[in-house]
Structure 1
Amino acid sequence: MKGNNQFSSIKNQFASHAIIFDMDGVLIDSEPIWKDAGIELFTRLGVPMTRERMAETMGMRCDEVVALRYASEPWNSMTVDEATDELIRLVVEKTKATGQALPGALSAIRVAQEMGVKTAIASSSPMVLIEAVIDHLQLGDFDALHSAFSEKRGKPAPDVYLAAAKALDILPEHCIVIEDSLNGMKAAKAAGMTCIAIPDARYFTHADIADYADHIFDSLEYCTREQFELFFA
């Protein structure tokens, strides 16, 4: 009984804290999927697109990306809303076919939940994709799921992270955000949260993001219980 009480007290110690995961590029290696889907869609619309151009909007809501491209290179074959829906459809389809969890994703979620820390996903992706990823990767349950599509502003505005903290009933300063994109890191810091960056070496170096992250790791595999406890100390 004493052991159980000790375990409960350890969990209660972190009950007023939260870890909020970005999804794309943190839990799932979806950035290549978004790029392939974007190239497929925009090429079909007559807009020249490359992986480098797609990387420019990494971390933004896809409806904002489509609107941005339409503003500079308009097309006539479908509306912006229709193009956004088609992009989402392509990404969901490709995710279900080839999506893979990034190293350390499942263990980081498990460790946080075993500690009694509240967990959430706060993503620029629409809820239909968040749910598809959770189901495809069998990520289990979170205390909150929130899409930037529910907010007036997407990342780098802090809205999605502040809304997730409110849903968790956790103060922003007691939240750790795990991000991979520059826009997401800016959003986390603007929300007043601690930001752990897991940059994709294909797009960023540690030096590129040093001003936007409190801690930088090469993989979620480094996010152990010991590390989380240090961050919450």
Structure 2
Amino acid sequence: MRRRALLGIFVILLVVGAYGVYVVSYPQYPKINKCVNPFREVKPIHQTQENWSKIHFIFAVLTNRDLLKLAKPWNIDYNLTWVSKFKLQYGKEQVSMTAIAIVLKNHKRAVVMYKFSKPVDGVYTLTKVLSFSNNTAHVTSMIINGYEIQTSSCVNECGSCNILEHCESYCCEPCANTQCMAYCAAPGCYLACGWLPYPIALPCWMACAGFCCEYVCCGQEGGKCVPNYIGP
């Protein structure tokens, strides 16, 4: 009984502390007014797969506005969560990237977030929402630096953007080329993701081999016209 009470107090303190971090210290990233794909600008140097506890995941979700908006802690299937950390070469400097993939309990949606230690072509965070239906997966929305873009279908609008808009390109069929993935992805990714059925395996591959999925082995690229951001 005493142990349960202590556990309850710990959870309450965790939630309060996480909310304080969320409110006080969450950075405000700039909106991007150009077509970018950060994975085109980097080369992977080193990768490690992380084994986060459930408490670690809950804290990560509670302290990140994008994740909290898309995946509440009580809706996550913690048996289908993956984290990888990367060192990337970006021009003449090195940056780190954390990739987090989460599948929701209904197994109809997943969230994959990439977070860079320094902006890569202006991108600090890139979050994708995957929807699963009829054994297929579709990217239904993206959040870049905290700004959401709806991507209901894989179309390229970029030739029709007006002067008040810019094009956001994205991979709407990540990890689609299986032969390419066999050549590009690290062997450890096959141990982590190879046994999973499609499309549940997709967020695992995106977290473990984001560079391959989002750029080298992308099956189809889409483009979305979005309004230019005019700062204060």
- TM-score, normalising length from structure 1? 0.29
Identify, as 1 or 2, the structure richer in strand: 2
TM-score by length of 2: 0.29
